[in-house]
Amino acid sequence: MKLFSANIENLQSLYITSLKKALDMEEKITQALPDMIDNSTDLELSDAFRTHLGETQGHVAKIEAILNRLIGEPKTETNKAINGLTAEAADTIKDVKDPTVRDIALICAAQEVEHHEIALYGTLRRWAGLLGLNDDALVLEMIETEEINADELLTDISSRVNLEAAA
């Protein structure tokens, strides 16, 4: 049960609330990626996670800057979807004992997160455009592009790692 309402009255307030959830999402991903790095055995996969950790830290800074400009502070609001996705990734690390199978399970978990991020940033970018926040739209498009690139890299890695796990 929600104790406090987000008080969403219009597209502007929905946009700001969603940015706060995006910030929460990026902060949680920043916390989850080190475990994924430590528990992946494929070097290309751990390098991809390491690179994306740096990108994600940049996403945090970019969303904080947008929120600072719009509301004067980088507050978060709980992103319930990312809570579930990061919990799934943590469970995968604990539950899968075979290192190669764990690698493909981590790829799956990471791609679930990437798909959520791509959807959210695509939506935020469009809303920013509707609100006339063209600078925000450009920043959000850059983040969305990085998420798409991360997802495509994971797909490339999985084409090899999936075969290794199946062998």
- Other C-beta atoms closer than 10 Å to the C-beta of 156 total 12
Structural domains of the chain, with CATH: 11-166 (1.20.1260.10)
97 HSE (CA, 13 A, CB side): 0
Rounded percentage of the chain residues whose pLDDT exceeds 70: 96
Amino acid at 84: G
| Radius of gyration (C-alpha) of the chain in whole angstroms | 17
Q: What is the pLDDT of residue 6?
A: 59
Q: What is the pLDDT of residue 5?
A: 53
> Could you read off the pLDDT of 82-132 as tens digits, one per residue?
999 999 888 888 999 999 999 999 999 999 999 999 999 999 999 999 999
Amino acid at 163: L
Mean pLDDT across 153-158? 97
DSSP conformation letters of 107-131: HHHHHHHHHHHHHHHHHHHHHHHHT
Q: State the pLDDT confidence band at 4, using cuts at 50, 70 and 90.
A: very low
Global pTM reads 0.92
Give whole-number Cα distances, 112 to 1, 33, 154, in Å. 26, 14, 11
Q: What is the pLDDT of residue 108?
A: 95
Mean pLDDT across 38-50? 97
